[in-house]
Structure 1
Amino acid sequence: MKKLKYLFLLFLGFTNAQETISLEQCYQLSRENYPLIKKQELIKKSEQYTIENALKGWLPQINIVGQATYQNEVTELPIKLPNISVDPLSKDQYKVYADVSQTIYDGGNIKNQKKLAQAQAEIQSQQTEVELDKLKERINQLYFGILQTDKQLAQLQLTKSDINEGIKKAEAQLKNGVIFRSNLDVLKAELVKNEQREIELKSVKQTYLQMLSFFIKRNLDENTQLQTPEKTLVTETNNRSELKLFDAQKTLIEAQKKLVNTKNTPKLGAFFQGGYGKPGFNMLKNEFDTFYMAGVRLNIPISGFYTQKNELQLLNNQSQDVEIQRENFLFNQNFTEIQQKKDLDKIQNLIDKDDELITLRKSIKNASLAQLENGVITTNDYLREVNAEEQAVLTKISHEIQYLLTQYNLKANLNN
């Protein structure tokens, strides 16, 4: 029976265990559940279809042509031969035929179309990644907001405990007629004020939890335990998707240049025409007949050279514009990085001073509690020292969360 009871209590402990979640899990879940992530699959499919269509340029191209015409004059022999009668062609003529062409050499056109499709898909993919990267900073605001609220609530309980301790001392003094009831009421009023703050903080936390739940598609409540991230070492490696986007844009421009050049290269192909009509290829035979023709066709475009130079120059301008955008992005990013690193140094120095101040404030508060018990100071004096210690602790909490938030925003800024 004792064993069954133990198992039941163990099971109950598991069911009541707090759910824990980390910042990295929130990053991953928010990415997986963000509607824009679905676009990546569509981009891959579009790339596949475009490449397949480009490669089909190597398949035979077939056209079926039907034609019926009437002309006002036909070819006739200018002389008449004795004992030979040649019927003139009919002015109404008909034919239906198939035209089949097969590319043998296209100057690299299809290959470059494939590269162009890949570059365009990569640009779309990186544009999506740029938007997805912005999720991290939004998650940071919510996640660290919850952590700060939790720490403030924990400190509030300690402050309430100190006030309750003062109330006990004041009640004893009231019974002995040492103080007035108003002195006791001051402490009780401050306790009610702290209970109001507790309601406000819990409401703020609930709002943050609901917003974070919306992003990660997981139900979070007040029992959910958020792991406090460790201070992390941010590397100098810059993995921002914007840089990959600029690279993809340069790749696209290079692919477009190659297409401009291949547009003007010679093309070689085989062709076949076969059909049925009146007349056939024998123009002296005025009747329906089959006909066919096969051969090799060489196409050397010349007119494309008229605009080739300007087209390439336009693409060079676009390439320079991409480089300007890259420089501008890196300039702004480096500026932000310098500012964030300076903020980290400043906040760490403040935290070191916070520890000194809290130690002093705690010592002063403990001494004032003894003075209150001995009637040396009033409840207002004691309350002032309690609030001073609380403010020192809350300031440190704010600095610690601010440090982590700045550090992880810096990490998100470099995407590493």
Structure 2
Amino acid sequence: MKILKYLFLLLFFSGNAQTLTLEECYGLAKQNYPLIKRHDLIAKTKEYNLQNAAKGWLPQIQVIGQATYQNDVTQLPLKLPNLTMDPVSKDQYKVYADIQQNIYDGGMVANQKKIATINSEIELQKTEVETDQLEMRINQIYFGILQTDEQLQQTELIKSDLSSGLKKAEAQLENGVIFRSNVDVLKAQLVNLEQKKLELQFVKKSFLQMLSLFIQKNLDETITLVKPEKILIKDENKRAELKLFDLQKLGLEQQKSNITSKNLPKLGAFFQGGYGKPGFNMLKNEFNIFYIGGLRLNIPISGFYTKKNDLALVETQQQEIEVQKENFLFNQQFQTIQNNNELDKTQQLINKDNELVILRESIKTASLAQLENGIITTNDYLREVNELDRAKNQKITHEIQYLLTQYNLKAQLNQ
């Protein structure tokens, strides 16, 4: 009955154990990264800019008031009999509204809308570049926890081996075959293992706290991180920076269109109407209503002075972005070669680790039997246990390093 009870409890806690995958960590980290709040701000900025650009088609209205005094006014140079004409006052007043309505703007409003949209996409992509870099930071923490967990498990296995040796040594001590110092050697090593276990537990605790900060989720030491499988890395670069370079070039291309639009003729309607002294009739020296309306054609000539240089400047900026892109791809290719060579080297080391662990296991098993039969001392046995421990820890390090390099390469290529 007790056995059934323990099995039930084991199944219960196993079924309720909290697990976490690397992909889940990626998603939570990006979702809770403070920089993600920029998305809403960028969307609002885009909307405001588009609305402002669209208002370029609304009538542009000004109300102007003016009071002047001039030293002379226009007068007729002759006098006619029976006709008296008062000269226009030297103090003059007027208040009027000036209304301008675009009919053809050379594509300025359309270009401003496109520039606003592209600038918004550029800012979003900059945010994407930074959030993508989170994956490599998460990798360091996640695989650090996995390595610590496996080292803790290895510590327990070595502790079991030493305990087995200790039991046999204590039996020999009781029979007077060995000295107490031989037993103390194994006990001291067990204390060392407890110290190592404490260090590893604190390292894991630190890693878990860092991971909790990134994913905004409380993690305790009972959490189980799922060990990722080895993956196949494709020769395909999907880094967010590449799209950012393309968007920046597209934004500059739109600036070229804007330069061309600024130098195209503009057609608009206008209307001015107001109240003043005098009105448009200069011979009538009194306050009166006046208005004028019509069409206005504006052909910018001075813009052609700098158009060629302005376009050349934008072209230079596009070439600079292309150089940055080539440099980025070069560095990416260089890092990919390094990582691939590191993967090949680590895999070969893992193969040798497997051979070494098998040999060390065999030697340790044989040395335990030799210890029991009094052929070797506890120091000899301890040496073989430590060599096995070193071989297994080396294998753990290489296996985790292989996975870390793979997933860093995956993050590097944004696959």
* Cα 1:384/1:15, change in 2 over 3 Å: closer
- Give RMSD over aligned pairs: 1.6
**Aligned-pair distance for 1:162?**
0.2
**Aligned-pair distance for 1:403?**
0.5
Q: Is 1:348 the counterpart of 2:374 in the alignment?
A: no
**Aligned-pair distance for 1:394?**
0.7
Counterpart amino acid of 1:151? E
* Structure 2 SS opposite 1:183: helix
Matches within 5 A, 1:146-225: 146-225=145-224
Matches within 5 A, 1:229-240: 229-240=228-239
Q: Distance in 2 between the 1:14 and 1:74 partners? A: 103
Q: Distance in 1 between the 2:376 and 2:79 partners? A: 143
* Structure 2 SS opposite 1:102: strand
**Aligned-pair distance for 1:113?**
1.0
Q: Distance in 2 between the 1:251 and 1:317 partners? A: 14
Q: Is 1:129 the counterpart of 2:134 in the alignment?
A: no
**Aligned-pair distance for 1:17?**
2.4
Deviations along 1:379-410, whole A, 9 cap, x unmatched? 11111111111111111110110000000000
**Aligned-pair distance for 1:91?**
1.0
Q: Distance in 2 between the 1:284 and 1:96 partners? A: 19
**Aligned-pair distance for 1:122?**
2.0
* Structure 1 SS opposite 2:133: helix
Deviations along 1:360-397, whole A, 9 cap, x unmatched? 11111111111111111111111111111111111111
Counting matched residue pairs gives: 409
Counterpart amino acid of 1:35? P
**Aligned-pair distance for 1:10?**
8.2
Q: Distance in 2 between the 1:70 and 1:245 partners? A: 60
**Aligned twin of 1:260:** 259
Q: Distance in 2 between the 1:260 and 1:14 partners? A: 69
* Structure 1 SS opposite 2:82: coil
Q: Distance in 2 between the 1:62 and 1:238 partners? A: 53
Matches within 5 A, 1:280-319: 280-319=279-318
Q: Which moved more, 1:400-409 or 1:178-187?
A: 178-187
Deviations along 1:73-127, whole A, 9 cap, x unmatched? 1111111122222221111111111111110000001111111112222222222
Matches within 5 A, 1:242-253: 242-253=241-252
* Structure 1 SS opposite 2:281: coil
* Cα 1:388/1:11, change in 2 over 3 Å: closer
* Structure 1 SS opposite 2:274: strand
**Aligned twin of 1:414:** 413
Deviations along 1:192-217, whole A, 9 cap, x unmatched? 11111001110111111111111111
Deviations along 1:262-287, whole A, 9 cap, x unmatched? 11100000111111111111111111
Deviations along 1:134-191, whole A, 9 cap, x unmatched? 1111111000000000000001000000000000111111111111111111111111
**Aligned-pair distance for 1:14?**
6.1
Deviations along 1:281-331, whole A, 9 cap, x unmatched? 111111111111110000000000001111111111111110110011100
Q: Is 1:330 the counterpart of 2:316 in the alignment?
A: no
**Aligned twin of 2:116:** 117
* Cα 1:13/1:130, change in 2 over 3 Å: same
* Structure 2 SS opposite 1:403: helix
* Structure 2 SS opposite 1:295: strand
Q: Distance in 2 between the 1:145 and 1:211 partners? A: 11
**Aligned-pair distance for 1:38?**
0.9
Q: Distance in 2 between the 1:414 and 1:401 partners? A: 20
**Aligned twin of 1:362:** 361
Counterpart amino acid of 2:187? K
* Cα 1:202/1:14, change in 2 over 3 Å: closer
**Aligned twin of 1:377:** 376
TM-score scaled to structure 2, two decimals?
0.96
**Aligned twin of 1:3:** none
**Aligned twin of 1:48:** 47
Deviations along 1:214-269, whole A, 9 cap, x unmatched? 11111111101111011112222211111111111101111111111111100000
* Structure 1 SS opposite 2:38: helix
Q: Is 1:94 the counterpart of 2:93 in the alignment?
A: yes
> Structure 1: any 5+ residue segments left out of the alignment?
1-5
